[in-house]
């Protein structure tokens, strides 16, 4: 199956970046849908900001920037976004019921041959596929933040995902300039978050228990493990709410040992979610 048109559902932290990559690198026509005009406006503003940075670096020209923006069609109308799309990428918040509700709605509107994917970072693909009439045409397509720069896409099989669906999404990812890994078994957290989230949670416990302060924890991991940023700063980039949601899935689906650190819950309750809210372990108000 050849993909020509893509619909991205959700213009937030991940959605706008996915839409940009699809239009900029793969040169797809992209429908970008969200539920409020302010969310769409913010998403398009972030795309323009990102493209302007590429322009300043000389990576794209003014003409190319206009062409990329011209390929992205923001809309509040779900049917308009998905009706003629060959590929739908759902990128709404990490909540299973919300995702299933939207996927079920999408399923009624898309053409029969369309492939539907979810950008979930931890939720069972088989569970999400239960909302669809054609689970064989559904898989996970997990991008990493920011999608414009991060090279990896995890492609996750559900229990009934077909080989043809996986092969098509591998081809789409390559056209987007990405490297892929295929997760053969639908297991919570997939590959990256199964390794990363327990490490981030352990850094939280170090701070919670008073073993070391914030800067020394980040410095130790950055220099001792050669991470590009420390775990607490990385939590701010990922979003503390997103990390909590993934940790809760790991705890529920795999083992109680993945229990989130109380500090993580406390900060999420306080609205200190990291870069997206301006404050987390660091103050992002100026950079935001």
| Residues with catalytic roles | 121, 142, 154, 193
Residue 215 tokens read as: 């800067």
Distance, CA of 29 to chain centre: 20
How far apart are alpha carbons 118 and 121 in whole angstroms? 9
Q: Which long-range contacts (CB under 8 A, 24 or more apart) does 95-102 make?
A: 95/245, 96/123, 96/124, 96/127, 96/128, 99/123, 99/128, 100/127, 100/128, 100/130, 100/131, 101/131, 102/9
Residues 16/43, Cβ–Cβ less than 8 Å = yes
Q: Which long-range contacts (CB under 8 A, 24 or more apart) does 116-120 make?
A: 116/87, 116/88, 116/90, 117/87, 117/88, 117/89, 117/90, 117/141, 117/169, 118/89, 118/90, 119/14, 119/15, 119/18, 119/89, 119/90, 119/91, 119/143, 120/94
How far apart are alpha carbons 151 and 205 in whole angstroms? 30
Residue at token pair 């979003």: 239
What's the DSSP call for residue 186? -
Residue 108 tokens read as: 């009624």
């Amino acid at each position: 199956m050849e993909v020509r048109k893509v619909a991205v559902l959700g213009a937030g932290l991940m959605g706008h970046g996915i839409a940009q990559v699809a239009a900029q690198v793969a040169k797809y026509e992209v429908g970008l849908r969200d539920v409020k005009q302010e969310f769409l406006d913010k998403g398009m503003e972030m795309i323009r900001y990102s493209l302007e940075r590429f322009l300043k670096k000389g990576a794209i020209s003014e003409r190319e920037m206009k062409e990329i923006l011209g390929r992205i069609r923001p809309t509040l109308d779900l049917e308009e976004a998905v009706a003629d799309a060959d590929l739908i990428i759902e990128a709404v918040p990490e909540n299973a019921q919300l995702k299933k509700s939207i996927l079920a709605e999408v399923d009624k509107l898309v053409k029969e041959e369309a492939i539907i994917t979810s950008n979930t970072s931890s939720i069972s693909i088989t569970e999400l596929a239960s909302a669809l009439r054609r689970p064989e045409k559904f898989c996970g397509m997990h991008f990493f933040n920011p999608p414009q720069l991060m090279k990896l896409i995890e492609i996750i099989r559900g229990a009934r995902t077909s080989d043809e669906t996986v092969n098509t999404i591998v081809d789409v990812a390559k056209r987007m300039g990405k490297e892929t890994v295929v997760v053969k078994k639908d297991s919570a957290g997939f590959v990256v978050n199964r390794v990363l989230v327990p490490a981030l949670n352990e850094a939280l416990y170090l701070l919670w228990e008073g073993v070391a302060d914030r800067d020394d924890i980040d410095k130790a991991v950055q220099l001792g493990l050669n991470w590009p940023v420390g775990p607490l700063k990385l939590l701010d980039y990922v979003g503390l709410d997103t990390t909590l949601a993934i940790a809760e899935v790991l705890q529920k689906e795999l083992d109680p040992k993945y229990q989130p650190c109380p500090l993580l819950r406390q900060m999420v309750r306080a609205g200190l979610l990291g870069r997206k809210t301006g404050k987390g372990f660091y103050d992002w108000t100026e950079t935001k």
